[in-house]
Amino acid sequence: MKTVRFLLAFASLLFSHLAFAQEDGFLWSVDNAIVFDNREGSQAHAPQGTIFLNRFSPGIGVRFLGNHELKGGTSYIQPIGIGYKRTKFVPTFYYTYNQPVKRQWSVSVGMIPRHKLRHPLPEILWSDSMAYFNPNIRGVLLQCVKDSLLAEIILDWRSLQSETQREAFNINANVEGRLGRTFLLGGHAQLNHLAKQENAPAGQGVNDDMFLNPYIGWNLKQGTALDSLQLKLGGSFMFDRCRAIGEWDNAFGLLVDAVAQYKKIGIKETLYVGQPSLPLLEMYGSLLNMGDPHFHSKFYSHTRIYSPIVENQFVNFAVALDFNITAEGTSCYQKILLRVNIDSDGWKHRGSDKKILNVY
């Protein structure tokens, strides 16, 4: 019996050493997100209703040779109050290579958790509804963080061609650089493609969607009592074409983002003025355009008043009121968002502010 106890104690010590003390070893993560999003109003672009769900995402993996990782798991998405009728399982399995020593860049391939993004896609490209139900990037994520420069390239293969579904993928680039302590210069770009299904019916066309959003920004919190004060001013250039029709539908506008936060109260404003964006939204919906449908208007003001009640490396709990105003109507979203993430790397550095969670 003493021998068995000794072996168990030794195995426990060895496992602990591999998991937490060395660069190589066992990796694990437990991620859980709860979303309550109640949508009310007279808005023409987005239907009223309530999204209430729990997304549970456990995962395991291994780090080897210092800079190689292999991870796998799943996301179990359970709408609350409807039983198991709309349950969704999303598999996660990906490989990551990190640059040795400085780790300034990395590449991940496979089905990659979307929260690995350092710079989430803007709402005009990726709506909150898409974020709730699509937790993974399905393809490649290339990231570079060097001094004051952040760059990411995403290949998201959304759908493979078959008799019943169309081939669909998008390539995105996010770039932002800091010039001194105040100025920001960056942009978002997208190439989005929706092809035909196999043995496509007559009239079904291949579709192209391109987007460019260069911007300049200012970090203005210095000299104020605010925890955050930032302004971004940019252009929105969208080019869409259904090849079955042949003509390009273009949409140009001004896109402004501003955020201010003092302690536990913040306000974020996104303003779009110009030609109605997402030109083919009414024809294809989210098959092609995955952005917030409110941008399909010549004027859109999205005002979010929020409170990050709990915000640390393991837990993010926030409440928000979203006011959506377009030329066609208004609406108000009431949101409660909770995300808990515990993993081997974060646990190793517990007590630090190394990782602040994105609430999605």
Place of tokens 């040779």: 65
Residue 17 lies inside a defined structural domain of this protein: no
Nearest by Cα to 312 from 342, 345, 267: 342
Band of the pLDDT at 54, cuts 50, 70, 90? very high
Residue 356 has pLDDT above 80, yes or no: no
Asked whether residue 180 carries a pLDDT value surpassing 60, the answer given is yes
Establish if 242 belongs to a structural domain. yes
Cβ contact 30:18 at 8 Å: no
Is 3 within the bounds of a domain? no
Integer angstrom CA distances of residue 7 from 1, 12, 75, 343: 10, 8, 35, 26
Asked whether residue 237 carries a pLDDT value surpassing 80, the answer given is yes
User: Contact, 235 vs 255, CB < 8 A?
Assistant: yes
What's residue 2's pLDDT?
A: 47
The answer to whether position 353 is within a domain reads no
Q: Per-residue confidence at 19, pLDDT binned at 50, 70, 90?
A: very low
Residue 296: is its pLDDT beyond 50? yes
Answer whether residue 350 shows pLDDT above 70. Answer: no
DSSP state of 7: H
pLDDT of the residue at 18: 46
Query: Where in 25-115 does DSSP place strands (E)?
Result: 25-41, 49-64, 68-79, 88-98, 105-113
Look at residue 34 and tell me if it is in a domain: yes
Determine the pLDDT at residue 355.
Answer: 44
pLDDT, position 358: 57
For residue 5, being part of any structural domain is answered with no
With cut-offs at 50, 70 and 90, classify the pLDDT of residue 1.
low
Question: Taking residues 289-316, what's their average pLDDT?
Answer: 94
| pLDDT tier for residue 209 given thresholds of 50, 70 and 90 | very high
Number of domains in the chain: 1
Of 56, 152, 103, the residue nearest 345 (C-alpha) = 103
pLDDT score recorded for residue 7:
38
- Indicate whether 40 pLDDT > 80: yes
DSSP H helices in the chain:
2-16, 128-133, 281-284, 344-348
The pLDDT > 70 percentage for the chain reads 90
Report yes or no: 329 and 307 within 8 Å, Cβ to Cβ.
no
Q: Which residues contact 193 (CB under 8 A, 6 or more apart)?
A: 167, 168, 169, 170, 206, 207, 208, 209
Average pLDDT over every residue of 293-308: 96
Examine residue 4 and state whether it is found in any structural domain, yes or no.
no
Q: Which amino acid is at 151?
A: A
Q: Output the average pLDDT for the chain.
A: 89
> Quick one: average pLDDT of 311-332?
93
Token digits of residue 340: 């808990």
Residues 47-73 have a mean pLDDT of: 95
Structure tokens at 33: 């997100």
Q: Identify the pLDDT of residue 106.
A: 96
Phi–psi pair at 188, nearest 5 degrees: -125, 140
Range of the domain at 332: 27-348
User: Is 8 among the domain residues?
Assistant: no
User: Confidence class of residue 349 from pLDDT cuts 50, 70 and 90?
Assistant: low
Q: pLDDT tens across 149-164, in order?
A: 999 999 999 999 999 9
Place of tokens 């646990």: 347
Q: Which comes out higher in pLDDT, residue 174 or 18?
A: 174
Question: Letter for the amino acid at 220?
Answer: L
pLDDT of amino acid 297: 94
Lowest mean pLDDT among 15-29, 121-135, 186-200, 270-284: 15-29
Q: Give the CATH number of the domain where residue 176 resides.
A: 2.40.160.10
> What is the band of 103 on the pLDDT scale with cuts at 50, 70, 90?
confident
- Predicted TM-score of the model (pTM): 0.88
pLDDT at residue 8, as a whole number: 46
Distance CA 12, CA 300 (A): 57
The reported pLDDT for the residue numbered 83 is 82
Return the percentage of the chain with pLDDT > 90, whole number: 74
- Res. 11 pLDDT band, cuts 50 70 90: very low
Complete DSSP assignment for 173-237: EEEEEEETTTEEEEEEEEEEEE-PPTTPPTT---EEEEEEEEEEEEE--TTSS-SEEEEEEEEEE
Alpha carbons 159 and 192: distance in angstroms, whole number = 12
Closest CA to 317 of 359, 261, 289, 260: 359
Distance CA 130, CA 340 (A): 20
